[in-house]
Amino acid sequence: MGVLAFCQSLLTTIFPPSFRYTFLKFFNRISNYFSCYCYFDITEIDGVNTNELYNAVQLYLSSTAAATAASAGRLSLTRSLNSSAVTFGLAHNDTLFDTFKGVAVQWEHIVTQRPSQSFSWRPVPDEKRGFSLRVKKSAKDMVLGPYLDHIMDRAGEIRRLNQDRYLYTNSRGGSMDSARPGHPWEAVPFKHPSTFDTLAIDPRRKAEIMADLKEFAGGESFYRATGRAWKRGYLLYGPPGTGKSSMIAAMANYLNYDIYDLEITEVSSNSELRKLLMKTTSKSIIVIEDIDCSIDLSDRQKDNKHSKYRQSGGHGNYPGPDDGPGGPGMVTLSGLLNFTDGLWSCCGSERIFVFTTNHVEKLDPALLRCGRMDMHIHLSNCSFEALKILLRNYVGLEENDLDSETIAEFEAVVGKAGMTPADVSEVLIRHRRERMKAVKELLVELKRRAEGGKNDNANGGDQEKEGNVVVDEDDLFFKENDKKFN
């Protein structure tokens, strides 16, 4: 050891630092030339700015490490504040293997101590962190292009899934609100527990809605290729208590979107409506509930009378055809149509418009056509399929837990009773601690409603017999409104 120390000091004295640096550089080039691998370093701090690629790689590898946690040697565990998920990560100076399109890559998390600094204008971490990527030279082009793009996209998706979702609402005055200037939306965390698993509608129709939402969320290239704005409209209609609000919450939880609950009666003009639209973010659901009650959007005959009044030479402050029911400056049908399907609707991407109503026949046909409301979802009274879901949700009973006679009785009276899912839920909640008593009480209530509403159900209610259905044709709405306008 003494001889080695003497030789080291002798070499340091004979060969200057510049020579040693050149020799090591030349040696690395020779070794890299004969090696079949190439290496890429991704540091945490790039100069004075944080390297976004480093954060993306860290998030991406956390999902990969979670999948291989059982076979990994050592992983780091982190948990953010107010988060219920544990995040996996690479430990210091540990390695992880990944595969992309059949190409194997190796990641190494390198952590070294920084030299102590007496003074610095910009404080830096005590540790120097970074990732080293090793890949075969033949696959270098694939890694520098599609693989890194895949990492960035996957990291963005992980951020969206981990962050809290919010429910926004607008207030009168919008951006003129002195308490929050420039912020027309007020937000609260969205914690609604409704999902498509707990939603009491026909499973076949439920699958159609989920498939449509999934195709929309992954259809960016399709909408760009066809020249259409990346948006979609849904109309939820049916009697009160049929689950329209629960459907919206299930859609938001399924897509991990924020919800903007637009209170249109608090909007003073069409220009303010456009400003509210511009302040919404992508990956969101814009909801206008009870559109038939919020504002009068269907009385075109009154608008035609106003036009005739002007043509005959009338004067004064008589409302114009583009003015709302409250006079000039209010939201009009034209403003709402431009809000959903006009030029201003293209100022964002990946947004869903949802309108709800109890009386679809009161809405103007222009609001119901495809391009504005692409899918019409009828939520009717409780059907037998929906009843089975409610029994499972509230009292934990599956169809196999009931005898065939009880099932036959339920199937015979549920369509005639005309009870909404909310009515059925209320009966089950009252007796949720005694499951069989809840079933008996529900059956008694269904029979009582069926006997009391037999005459009413005999005259109409074809839609009731269908259960919760999705209507893809607009003929029904246009026929009803054409009769009124003609």
Tokens of 108: 């190494």
Domain ranges of the chain: 38-114+125-162, 167-379+471-485, 384-467
Q: Is residue 117 within 8 Å of residue 18, measured between CB atoms?
A: no
| Cα distance between residue 40 and residue 443, in whole Å | 69
pLDDT of residue 422: 92
pLDDT of residue 17: 79
Four-residue CA torsion sign, 214, 217, 219, 223: positive
| Cα distance between residue 77 and residue 62, in whole Å | 9
The letter for the amino acid at 116 is: S
Length, in residues, of the chain: 486
Tokens of 245: 């609000």
Prediction pTM value:
0.69
The letter for the amino acid at 409 is: E
Q: Is residue 382 within 8 Å of residue 238, measured between CB atoms?
A: no
- Vertex 182: Cα angle to 177 and 185 (nearest 5): 70
Burial of 357 (0-12, 13-18, 19+ CB in 10 A): buried
Give CATH for domain 167-379+471-485. Answer: 3.40.50.300
pLDDT in single tens digits along all 486 residues of the chain: 999 888 888 887 888 777 777 877 777 777 767 778 888 888 887 666 778 888 888 888 877 765 555 455 666 777 666 555 666 667 777 788 888 888 888 888 888 876 666 555 555 566 788 888 888 888 888 778 888 888 888 888 877 777 778 899 987 655 444 445 557 888 888 888 999 999 998 889 999 999 999 999 988 889 888 888 888 999 999 999 899 999 999 999 999 899 999 988 888 888 888 888 888 888 899 999 988 776 665 444 444 444 443 333 433 333 444 444 444 447 877 888 877 777 766 777 888 999 999 888 888 888 888 878 889 999 989 999 999 999 999 988 888 888 888 889 998 998 888 899 999 999 999 888 888 888 999 999 999 988 875 544 444 444 433 444 444 434 444 344 444 433
Q: Which residues of 272-288 are buried (b: 16+ CB within 10 A; e: fewer)?
A: bbbbbbebbeebbbbbb
DSSP 44-107: SEETTEE-HHHHHHHHHHHHHHHHTTTT-S-EEEE--TT---PEEEEPTT-EEEEEETTEEEEE
| Cα distance between residue 452 and residue 444, in whole Å | 12
Provide the 3-class DSSP secondary structure of residue 184: coil
